[in-house]
Amino acid sequence: MKGNLLLYLESLYVKDFRNYSEQLVRFSRGRNLILGKNGYGKTNLLEAIYMLSTSKSFRNISDQKIRRWGTSGYIIRGDFNTEKGSYELTLEYDGEKKRFYVNRVAEQKLANIIGYVYSVLFSFDDILLVTGPPIFRRHYLDLILSTVDPQYFSSLRVYIQLLKHKNRYLAETSAIDNDLLETLNDQMILSGSYIIEKRSTFVKYLNDFMGEVSEKIGHFKSSLRLLYRTNILHDRDYELLPQVEKLYREELERKKDIELKLSQAIVGPHRDEIVFYDSNSEIRFFGSIGEARLTSILLRLAQASFYRKTRGCLPILLIDDILLELDQKNREKVLELFGIENQMIVTTTERHRVSEIFSWDRVFNIVEKGRIEWKEIETPST
């Protein structure tokens, strides 16, 4: 089924996952609203769906902490419908190892999970994509590009391994072998150049998408502008990309003595950054909380748009109570941008906090920790 147009998640089953002992949830293919108090398990359901897309939690914690207290492991199972049929995905953790199954048949590598399900998570912490340190923005780029480009995933993994090797060598070796260092640099140039090329191309896509959408919202002083900063290209234009390997090598030579003095690699895509501008002001330092929140939401919408363009699929939109910092006007404009085609699963503590611009196909109430009630809504979505 890999590569088919994803229509919707039909049902989700979790066992010994977070605060759920055992729960089956049947979703509508349209708009789903999950209501519940903080700490009752709303976000846990989104986390389970996200893990069927990536095999990992967006909370960046170990599987030991994901399993329900006092149990040995967990099970997450999703039934998905596509335009060419349906399939079942299962992720199991037994306390030591994690396994992934497609229609009850085991996949040999967890990396093979990529491409069966595309989802986009809109979370409260997304604001760190704008206000946080550069590592958050690099992770955003890497997540998206790794899920659509196997070569990027492979290049990134190789580059990270080489970077660790080089840093360890520079830190622990008193007499540097220049031939060995040059060999390491040659390998890093190959993988790192591919990373830079793909990031540059994707940031250009982001610029086009976010510039157009930010004009529709009208909240910003001007259309949003993004700048991709890498110490290889030095803010120069995209036409220099064909020369990236040559420029990479030249920069390594220029910074060789500094790297030796600092005992660490300072040249390469591990130092990349994206800067967001509203007019001539950098949002990270001079924008309001509302502008930062809107920018982070547009980044996730761009992710969904990119999946549709490159993979021909409509990703599931997982929206975790992100609209609290927006006024009513901007909240309605943002909700309109989500459109009507993608399946949406939205969480909130109180229904009135979600604009009535939407009617809901199915509403779920988490009546106590780990227990859900739901009802079908007769009024169709608009």
Query: Do 155 and 291 belong together in one domain?
Result: yes
Residues 318, 305, single domain; the answer is no
Tens-digit pLDDT profile for residues 221-253: 667 889 999 989 876 656 667 789 999 999 999
Claim to verify: residue 133 and residue 103 sit in the same structural domain: no
In the prediction, which pLDDT does 375 show? 63
Same domain, 186 and 134: yes
Token pair, residue 82, equals: 């596509």
Say whether both 186 and 270 belong to one domain.
yes
329 and 287 share one domain = no
Residues 293 and 198 in one domain: yes
**pLDDT at residue 82, rounded to an integer:** 79
Q: What is the mean pLDDT of the chain?
A: 87
Closest-CA residue to 81 (of 117, 128, 55): 117
Which one of 310, 344, 373 terminates a domain? 310
Q: Determine the structural domain holding residue 244 and report its residue range.
A: 126-310
The closest alpha carbon to 25, from 44, 6, 7, belongs to 44
373 and 230 share a domain? no
Among candidates 251, 280, 278, which has minimal Cα distance to 265?
Answer: 251
pLDDT at residue 273, rounded to an integer: 94
Q: Are residues 299 and 382 in the same domain?
A: no
Residue 291's pLDDT is 85
CA geometry: angle at 312 spanning 154 and 211, to 5°? 85
What integer is the mean pLDDT of 136-155? 94
Q: What percent of the chain has pLDDT over 90?
A: 55
31, 150: one domain = no
Domain boundary among 310, 331, 358: 310
For position 23, which CATH number holds? Answer: 3.40.50.300
DSSP letter string, 159-220: HHHHHHHHHHHHHH-SS--HHHHHHHHHHHHHHHHHHHHHHHHHHHHHHHHHHHHHHHH--S
* 196 Cβ contact partners less than 8 Å away, ≥ 6 residues apart: 230, 232, 233, 241, 244, 248, 269, 272
The pTM score is 0.89
Number of compact structural domains in the chain: 2
State whether 237 and 148 are in the same domain.
yes
**What is the per-residue pLDDT across 317-330, written as a single tens digit (0 to 9) for each?**
999 987 666 777 77
Could you tell me the CATH number of the domain that includes residue 207?
1.20.1050.90
Supply the pLDDT for residue 378: 43
Q: Are residues 270 and 160 in the same domain?
A: yes
Is residue 205 within 8 Å of 302, Cβ to Cβ? yes
Which of 278, 310, 342 is the endpoint of a domain? 310
